Amino acid sequence: MHLFIKSLLVFFLILLFSCKPEEEQVTTDGVKLVFKNDTNLVTDSILFDTILAGQANVFSKPSISKRLKVLNTSPKAIKTSIRLANDGSSPYYLIINGVKQNYVKDFMIRGGDSIYIFSQVTLNNQNKNLPFLVQDSILFSTNGIQQRVVLTTWGRDAIYYKGDSITSNTIWENDKIHFLYKSLIVSQNCTLTIKKGTEIYASKGSALVIKGNLRIEGDSGKANIVRFQGPRTENYWENIPGQWKGIVFTQTSQNNSIKFAEIKNAETGIEINKTENALNITFGDVSNTIIKNMSQFGFYASNTNLKLFNTLIANCSKQVLRIKNGGNYAFYNNTFVNYSGTFTRDSASVILSDNGNNTLNLTLKNNIFWGDLKEELIFNKTKTENWIIEQENNAIKTSTTDFVGNGNILNDTKEYPEFENITKDALDFKLKSNSPFIAKGVAIPFIINDLTGKLRTTTFDIGAYQYGK
């Protein structure tokens, strides 16, 4: 027995020493490293998405990390020195193979092996009204071979709001980003005016709360739209709902005006008068606006007087439009549409209801109510006598006969509108040339242009978009 144990021990010792690797041979040849980016493509540069300056004073987390894979294609090991070109004055910093350091000397990379370098950037406000460029380089010195990977970031100065209140009439210009780190309140009897081209970012749970008045003065053209979105600018977050709370109007807010805005990726895009016993308020107008990608509602209103036209409200987990407790609503040339690409839902895109007491006075002209469910427009009538409805020339996805007549177009086929694209990655609700909604609307005297600012001729199309160039 003892002889067996001794033999077994000798066997394992022989196995152990026979598996010991040979010492890695370090080459002195001129070897060029190969660099690959996050998508595994060979590169000599790293480009960050636009970074908001001043975030370090607000957030505990730095910018998103960008990964660089550094490959040694030689069969032998190499030693390379790695450093930031502007170390000591650079807004960038590096994490080299798991260690935060901006300089390392004679770092060994085994033959055919690789290491990872993560780069991050923190910017300070530059007191500039336009985007500014910030660059540095990661330098590699390997046996006399010098290589560099350029780091590039566009920065934007930002103004941060951390639970503040606006207590006097205020104007936001488009020279800086406005960032709601916590909810911002516009006090009663005060007006916030937002000029064309202004961008507003908001963090998780943050809202723009309007107790006074809001005037959004966007204009046609991509550069002139007023934009609201969540805090992240990377492509991944482009259409992710629920990143911030939304714009909330209380009962004291009256006579607001919103035109040429884009409100996206919130919980509820616009919420008006959402209280237990909502008093009737005169909200004002919303026009030429896009509201999309909400984790709850696109537009929620209770016992409100509202005019809404030339507006697209799309892709919300609950309803794109929810009306409760009566009120007076005039909807012209809007597109209400819900295609459930990234979420599931079990109720219509648009639901309107009274509370059994208040009158619901409703005007619907030239609107599209569509989506991928069987019924996309529902009237919940507690008391039929409380409903006053004027409707004509709407396009409604329905299998019922409830909306027959008055020039309405009814169908229950998902593809029927002939939208440009209804796939989840490229939703585009403009009309194709063969759409049955072209030239089927009724003329609205006060509407001159469509959502994009395109001139509407005397022949109106149904929906927010007028077909043609």
Q: What is the pLDDT along the chain (469 residues), one digit of tens a residue?
A: 455 455 555 444 444 444 444 446 787 788 899 999 988 899 999 998 788 887 766 665 556 789 999 999 999 999 999 999 998 889 999 999 899 999 999 999 999 999 999 999 888 888 887 788 999 999 999 999 999 999 999 888 889 999 999 999 999 999 999 999 999 999 999 999 999 999 999 999 999 999 999 999 999 999 999 999 998 777 777 888 999 999 999 999 999 999 999 999 999 999 998 887 788 899 999 999 999 999 999 999 999 999 999 999 999 999 999 999 989 999 999 999 998 766 778 889 999 998 777 889 999 999 999 998 989 999 988 888 889 999 999 999 998 888 888 999 999 888 899 999 888 777 899 999 999 999 999 999 999 999 999 999 888 999 999 998 6
**42 DSSP assignment:** B
Backbone torsion region of residue 286, taken as left when φ is above 0, otherwise alpha when ψ lies between -120 and 50, otherwise beta: beta
Asked if 312 contacts 291 with a C-beta cutoff of 8 angstroms, the reply is yes
Nearest to 353 by CA among 382, 311, 329, 315: 382
CA distance 297 to 7: 76
Q: How far apart are CA 119 and CA 138, in angstroms?
A: 9
Cβ neighbors of 121 (< 8 A, separation 6 or more) are: 48, 51, 62, 63, 91, 92, 93, 134, 151, 153
Q: CA 53, CA 154: separation in Å to the nearest integer?
A: 10
Residue 462 · residue 367 · CB < 8 Å: yes
Q: How far apart are CA 333 and CA 288, in angstroms?
A: 10
- CATH code of domain 34-155: 2.60.40.10
Q: Facing residues of 195 across strands?
A: 217
Which parts of 317-443 fold into alpha helices (H)? none
Size (the chain), residues: 469
* Structure tokens belonging to residue 380: 């919940």
103-109 and 78-84 strand pairing: antiparallel
Rounded CA gap, 321 and 301, in Å? 8
Token pair of 233 as six digits: 């600018």
Query: Where along the chain do its domains lie?
Result: 34-155, 158-431
Calculate the alpha carbon distances from 16 to 19, 289, 452 in Å. Answer: 5, 72, 74
pTM: 0.83
3-state secondary structure of 237: helix
Q: Tell me the sheet residues that pair with 142.
A: 145
